[in-house]
């Protein structure tokens, strides 16, 4: 342990405590009848779970890298009225350090090693194969096929052959397959009825929301069913339009599921005929545009207009471009920081609001869709807001774009207490 990383007993109480890592998630849970919060490492640098009480969570939230143990104690006392001893604070900090949840030199070294290895590799491994879905080819194919005829699915298997032209856009969920599999099946059944495009622009959600609005990678996404290759020409043309290093935050692709799940479905659908794609993870625009559409933010709007022109240019060359948005909608309940419980009345309220927003989305009214979400304090916490906003802009820019068709809408409980909603939709081009 590096000197200064933690306030060891011999350094007294005047040394700053190491900061709590920022890319952590606190998941509510119940342990031995008591409500706790289990820290989850979004970077996957640590596999040591650590459960904390509500008081413990408040305490660790005070670890900003500048405060001493004595200062943390004083702030905690003012906030709660409880006076805790310095040895208890130091004991908790040591437990955090042992679990790898503090910003220490050891954690920084692990992060650098992991990121250097990821950056150097031409591949993005299927990190959720095994933990989230079968890693074996036949087993995965069987599971995905099963969703087509599952309850709430489309009720029929993949089309034997396409009977319609390639679509301009597709919306699919990114929730885990166990809860959202039938909704995925609606999207990918519609895709099976249509010819494959020549290239796909795939927009997923960067849940850890790095600084870059759009984060690109040229790496092929691997799946148990084969790899999704990157279209180099479209990748180069799009990345040339951003004002920052398009790979500066490439690490977010490493452990993000929103595009990996789409890759598995695409390979399941088309196998070796699967067209190349450009995978893009989209950060939250709300920090730039909390209560107005991103079109009002000059830097974002310039980049979006440039992306639109790139897409049109590729289409003018005869390429069939499809925009895919792997997104979920509302996230409400205790799991997501709300004080209220999920009730049938709340479920109905969420669905009504979601469907109103989806009317704007189906009409390709990107600004209207965005405003409908952020209005009222963004209470639904729609994680796919920025990715779908980008997707609607790009679909609308393509010649022949028209209103989309909502295929299904669904909700699923979060095991830690909450509700997630999602939808599937397809956007076809005007015929003739």
Which alpha helices (H) appear in 150-231, and where do they start and end?
177-192
Together in a domain, 209 and 102: no
Tokens of 147: 């969703």
What confidence tens digit (pLDDT) does each residue in 119-129 have? 899 999 999 99
Query: Could you tell me if residue 177 is inside a domain?
Result: yes
Together in a domain, 251 and 380: yes
Together in a domain, 105 and 128: no
Mean pLDDT computed over 101-119: 92
Which of the two residues, 393 and 112, has the higher pLDDT score? 393
Which percentage of the chain shows pLDDT scores above 90? 82
Query: Could you tell me if residue 118 is inside a domain?
Result: no
Report yes or no: 415 and 182 within 8 Å, Cβ to Cβ: no
Sign of the alpha-carbon torsion through 107, 61, 342, 417: positive
Together in a domain, 144 and 263: yes
pLDDT for 13 equals 62
- Phi and psi based region of residue 38 (left: phi greater than 0; alpha: psi -120 to 50; beta: remaining): beta
Query: Could you tell me if residue 1 is inside a domain?
Result: no
- How far apart, in whole angstroms, are the C-alpha atoms of residue 110 and residue 108? 5
For the cut 50, the answer to whether the pLDDT of residue 7 exceeds it is no
**Domain range for residue 367?**
123-427
- From the list 20, 74, 72, 31, the residue with the least C-alpha distance to 53 is 31
- Given 52, 82, 112, the domain boundary residue is 112
Together in a domain, 282 and 339: yes
Mean pLDDT computed over 102-129: 93
Tokens of 75: 């702030």
Q: Which of 70-79, 167-176, 319-328, 342-351 has the lowest mean pLDDT?
A: 70-79
What confidence tens digit (pLDDT) does each residue in 387-398 have? 999 999 999 999
Output the CA angle 299-302-308, nearest 5 degrees: 140
- How far apart, in whole angstroms, are the C-alpha atoms of residue 341 and residue 415? 13
For the cut 70, the answer to whether the pLDDT of residue 169 exceeds it is yes
**How, if at all, do strands 277-282 and 418-427 pair?**
unpaired
pLDDT for 232 equals 98
- From the list 349, 396, 405, the residue with the least C-alpha distance to 168 is 396
What confidence tens digit (pLDDT) does each residue in 342-375 have? 999 999 999 999 999 999 999 999 999 999 999 9
- From the list 107, 93, 91, the residue with the least C-alpha distance to 6 is 93
- Given 93, 112, 131, the domain boundary residue is 112
Instruction: For residue 53, give the DSSP letter.
Output: -
Together in a domain, 92 and 144: no
CATH number at residue 82: 3.90.930
CATH number at residue 141: 3.40.830.10
Together in a domain, 129 and 100: no
What confidence tens digit (pLDDT) does each residue in 82-94 have? 999 999 999 999 9
Together in a domain, 53 and 34: yes
Query: Could you tell me if residue 406 is inside a domain?
Result: yes
Together in a domain, 143 and 241: yes
- Given 90, 112, 134, the domain boundary residue is 112
Angle (deg, nearest 10), helices 344-362 and 366-374:
160
Together in a domain, 92 and 146: no
What confidence tens digit (pLDDT) does each residue in 238-273 have? 999 999 999 999 999 999 999 999 999 999 999 999
pLDDT for 300 equals 97
Rounded mean pLDDT of the chain? 93
Task: Report the number of distinct structural domains present in the chain.
Answer: 2
For the cut 60, the answer to whether the pLDDT of residue 8 exceeds it is no
Together in a domain, 78 and 139: no
Query: Could you tell me if residue 432 is inside a domain?
Result: no
Query: Could you tell me if residue 66 is inside a domain?
Result: yes
Together in a domain, 39 and 71: yes
Mean pLDDT computed over 101-116: 92
What confidence tens digit (pLDDT) does each residue in 171-206 have? 999 999 999 999 999 999 999 999 999 999 999 999
What is the distance in angstroms between the CA of the first residue and the CA of the last residue of the chain?
69
């Amino acid at each position: 342990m590096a000197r200064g990383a933690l306030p060891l007993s011999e350094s007294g109480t005047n040394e700053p405590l190491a900061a709590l890592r920022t890319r952590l998630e606190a998941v509510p849970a119940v342990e031995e009848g008591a409500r706790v919060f289990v820290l989850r490492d979004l970077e996957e640098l640590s596999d040591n779970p650590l459960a904390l009480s509500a008081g413990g969570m408040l305490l660790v939230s005070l670890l900003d890298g500048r405060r001493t143990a004595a200062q943390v104690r004083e702030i905690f006392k003012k906030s709660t009225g409880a006076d805790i001893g310095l040895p208890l604070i130091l004991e908790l900090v040591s437990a955090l350090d042992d679990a790898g949840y503090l910003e220490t030199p050891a954690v920084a070294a692990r992060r650098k090693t992991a990121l250097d290895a990821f950056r150097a590799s031409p591949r993005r491994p299927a990190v959720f194969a095994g933990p989230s879905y079968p890693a074996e080819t036949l087993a995965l194919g069987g599971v995905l096929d099963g969703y087509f005829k599952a309850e709430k699915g489309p009720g029929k298997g993949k089309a034997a052959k396409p009977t319609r032209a390639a679509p301009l856009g597709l919306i699919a969920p990114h929730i885990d397959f166990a809860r959202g599999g039938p909704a995925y099946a609606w999207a990918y059944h519609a895709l099976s009825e249509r010819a494959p495009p020549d290239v796909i622009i795939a927009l997923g959600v960067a849940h850890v929301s790095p600084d870059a609005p759009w984060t690109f990678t040229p790496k092929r996404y691997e799946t148990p069913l084969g790899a999704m290759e990157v279209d180099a020409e479209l990748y180069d043309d799009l990345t040339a339009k951003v004002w920052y290093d398009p790979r500066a935050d490439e690490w977010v692709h490493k452990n993000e599921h929103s595009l990996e799940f789409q890759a598995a479905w695409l390979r399941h659908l088309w196998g070796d005929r699967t067209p190349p794609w450009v995978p893009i993870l989209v950060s939250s625009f709300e920090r730039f545009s909390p209560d107005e559409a991103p079109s009002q933010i000059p830097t974002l709007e310039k980049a979006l207009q440039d992306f639109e022109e790139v897409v049109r240019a590729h289409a003018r060359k005869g390429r069939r471009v499809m925009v895919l948005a792997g997104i979920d909608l509302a996230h409400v309940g205790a799991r997501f920081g709300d004080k209220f419980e999920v009730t049938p009345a709340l479920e109905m309220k969420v669905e009504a609001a979601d469907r109103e927003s989806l009317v704007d989305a189906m009409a390709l009214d990107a600004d209207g869709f965005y405003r409908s979400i952020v209005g009222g304090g963004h209470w639904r916490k729609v994680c796919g807001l920025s990715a779908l906003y980008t997707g609607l802009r790009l679909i609308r820019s393509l010649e022949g774009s028209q209103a989309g068709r909502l295929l299904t809408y669904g909700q699923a409980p979060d095991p830690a207490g909450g509700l997630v909603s999602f939808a599937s939709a397809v956007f076809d081009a005007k015929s003739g």
